[in-house]
Amino acid sequence: MSDYNEIRKYPPYEKISSREDLKKYYNSARNEIINYKDMAKASGVTAHSYAKQKNKWKEEAKNDKRKVLQLTKKQKAQDEARKAGYWSGAATIGVTILYETWKVIGFPGGSKWMEWWSHEAVYGVIVWCATITLGWFYKQGHDGP
């Protein structure tokens, strides 16, 4: 409504009777236009500055999120590697104890199977199976349904 009243203070050019009035209205309108343009320019500069700042903050947040995600992935990988080391170590110790026990009480299948049970490949498969089994037991005890 105020814009309408602003326009009404300037009569149509046909209704302006003197050259001095025409000059007065022209200069007044010109000054208002200059002021509006200056205000629009200042608003544009401010808006541009805010937009730049917002984009900068967005980029910082994006980079920080990436860093946190990478840190979390790295920590998770370290935890998984540590757990794998635990299971592998526990399995190796368990199988070693089993082999030492077999040396005392005898290997399955008797003494003629001792060489087969002592082969590195067989030992490795047994350690691998023991590692998988221990990992499975751990997972069953710590994961939800």
Over residues 11-68, the pLDDT tens digits come to 887 787 888 888 888 888 888 888 888 888 888 778 778 888 888 888 888 887 777 7
The yes-or-no verdict on residue 121 having pLDDT over 90 is yes
Q: What angle do CA 29, 30, 34 make, to 5 degrees?
A: 115
Q: For position 7, what pLDDT does the model report?
A: 57
Where does the pLDDT of residue 135 fall: very low under 50, low under 70, confident under 90, or very high at 90 and above?
confident
**Amino acid of residue 125:** V
The domain containing residue 131 runs over which residues?
Answer: 2-142
The yes-or-no verdict on residue 107 having pLDDT over 70 is yes
Q: For position 52, what pLDDT does the model report?
A: 83
Domain count, the chain: 1
Report which listed range, 5-9, 52-56, 59-63, 118-122, is most confident.
118-122
Q: Which residues, at least 6 apart from 118, have a Cβ–Cβ distance to it below 8 Å?
A: 99
Q: For position 6, what pLDDT does the model report?
A: 60
* Of 145 and 95, the one with more pLDDT: 95
- Positive or negative, the CA dihedral 22, 23, 25, 26 is positive
Residue 42, both tokens: 């200042």
Distance (Å) of CA 20 to CA 32, 53, 79, 85 = 18, 49, 87, 96
CA distance 99 to 139: 27
